[in-house]
Structure 1
Amino acid sequence: MTYDRLVCANCAAPVSEGRCPVCRASRERLQQQNPFSHVNPVTLIALFVVLIAALALVAHQTV
């Protein structure tokens, strides 16, 4: 889960904006737990597609 969709219960703002100390602490905790939390999901999908294409190319050349 990415933290850009989470809403802070303390200030009712998105956690990604870090408006209050609770938001900032939650944002830091989430970034430490998952190093890919700051990466856009579309970017992750694009990287996955590139990986699949590279694997297909390698498999095609070995045949």
Structure 2
Amino acid sequence: MTCDRLVCANCAGPVSEARCAVCRAERDRRHRQGPLISLTPATLLALLLTLLAVALLAHQAAGT
């Protein structure tokens, strides 16, 4: 989830605007952790299955 959709419980403003210290801290924490923090377990599973399917296809193509 990006900061654009988060609402601060402290000031009730969008976290992306960083109106208060709580917003700024959360925005900075999310930016430091990178894009992988927003991945859900379902998304990670889908990525893993896709990677396995591509590896299987590459293995079969190399064998022929």
TM tier relative to shorter chain: 0.5 to 0.7
The runs of 5 or more residues in structure 1 that have no matched partner are 1-15
Q: Is the 8 A contact 1:30 1:37 kept in 2?
A: no
Given the two structures, how large is their TM-score scaled by the length of structure 2? 0.54
Instruction: Pick the structure with more helix per residue.
Output: 2
Number of residue pairs matched by the alignment: 47
Task: Mark the structure with the bigger radius of gyration.
Answer: 2
Q: Which runs of 5+ in 2 are unaligned?
A: 1-5, 11-19
Show structure 1 runs of 4+ deviating over 2 A: 24-27
* Matched ranges for 1:7-46 at <5 A: 18-20=8-10, 21=20, 22=22, 24-33=23-32, 34-46=34-46
CA distance in 1, matches of 2:61, 2:45: 25
| Identity among equivalent pairs (%) | 21
Q: For 1:39-62, what per-residue CA distance to the aligned partner results, in whole angstroms no more than 9, with x for missing partners?
A: 222102211111111111111111
- CA RMSD, Structure 1 to Structure 2 (Å): 2.0
